Amino acid sequence: MMHSIFWTGRVLSRAIRNGLSNLSSAAELNVSKKKHPYLVSVVCGFPKDIANGRSHKGQFGDDAWFSTTFNNADVIGVADGVGGWRAYGIDPGEFSSYLMKTCERLVRMGHFKLSEPGDLLAKSYYELLEHKKPILGSSTACVMILDRNESIMRAANIGDSGYMVVRGNRIVHRSHEQQHYFNTPYQLSLPPPGHDRNVLSDRPESAETAEFKVESGDVILVATDGVFDNVPVTVLVAEMRRAQGMDNDSQKLQAVANSIAWMARNLSFDGCYMSPFAKSARQNGIDAIGGKPDDITVLLAIVAL
């Protein structure tokens, strides 16, 4: 037993060490010489199966993310592949990864509208549907576009991934979960032939959209439900407040992102913890306690001038 525990610890420690090292090198530092706002963004995450799951730039397990720029725009996004497809022999991470990689490519090519993050998400989804080799599965997604010239952030969110914006001591903007019923979020889907009637599939036009002004110092968290289901909002706000004033220090910003991701990871496997997910389950008549083991993706950004 002692040997088993020691081996697991070694694997976990190595995975975390390598993961954080890779993440630090993958942190996106978006710098503009203009006196317009821009995003300094970093990322951290863990696959649910930390020993065997994917953990590299753009993906943590079945979660996917991107951060890129084009002219006067900064664009960030996350997606969460629906794990239930694994029971059908389908890799849930392929759908979410393709969705985010396509969004990133479209932005870098300039094939998007500053005012319509939902359109960017839709273009990526419809391109996925037309892929020669079908990429089956489902995913939630959240995309945000900062228009530097106008100091305006626009967001599109479908499902239970999402974002929060903290200014000073409080949340000034946040997304809201879209659920068909408990633990069944809205999702973009491409089911196998013959399964259309049995699979939830929402149109990208169903995404919740928002538009708001941003200010220098605003801290923005974009994350998958592995974060929001396990870390209370009050704790997230406290962590995000620590990031204020770190627009010129990406390493310290990275440390805050690492802290949030590691906290979500630990709490997700705490069987005695009354998590936000467990509280929601109880509100829906399900006697539950403990965290919700899941892939974790934290994309943390600060608005700088």
Burial tier of 120 (Cβ tally within 10 Å: 0-12, 13-18, 19+): buried
Instruction: Tell whether the model's pLDDT for residue 12 goes beyond 70.
Output: no
Instruction: Tell whether the model's pLDDT for residue 6 goes beyond 90.
Output: no
Amino acid at 10: R
Run of H or E residues at 225:
helix 225-228
Instruction: Tell whether the model's pLDDT for residue 13 goes beyond 70.
Output: no
Rounded Cα gap, residues 77 and 195, in angstroms = 28
Run of H or E residues at 233:
helix 233-242
Instruction: Tell whether the model's pLDDT for residue 66 goes beyond 60.
Output: yes
Rounded Cα gap, residues 220 and 166, in angstroms = 6
Instruction: Tell whether the model's pLDDT for residue 29 goes beyond 70.
Output: no
Specify the 3-state DSSP secondary structure of 104: helix
Q: What is the pLDDT of residues 126-166, one digit of tens each?
A: 999 999 889 999 999 999 999 999 999 999 999 999 999 99
Instruction: Tell whether the model's pLDDT for residue 24 goes beyond 60.
Output: no
Cα–chain-centroid distance for residue 239? 17
Rounded Cα gap, residues 162 and 222, in angstroms = 6
- Going by C-beta distance under 8 Å and a sequence separation of 6 or more, which residues neighbour residue 234? none
pLDDT at 34: 54
Rounded Cα gap, residues 139 and 202, in angstroms = 10
Rounded Cα gap, residues 58 and 26, in angstroms = 9
Q: Which CATH number fits domain 34-304: 3.60.40.10, 3.40.50.300, 3.40.640.10, 3.20.20.100?
A: 3.60.40.10
Question: Structure tokens of 29?
Answer: 């530092």
Instruction: Tell whether the model's pLDDT for residue 4 goes beyond 60.
Output: no
pTM of the model: 0.88
Q: What is the pLDDT of residues 170-186, one digit of tens each?
A: 999 999 999 999 999 99
CB 141 within 8 A of CB 78: yes
CB 144 within 8 A of CB 153: yes
Average pLDDT over residues 68-85: 96
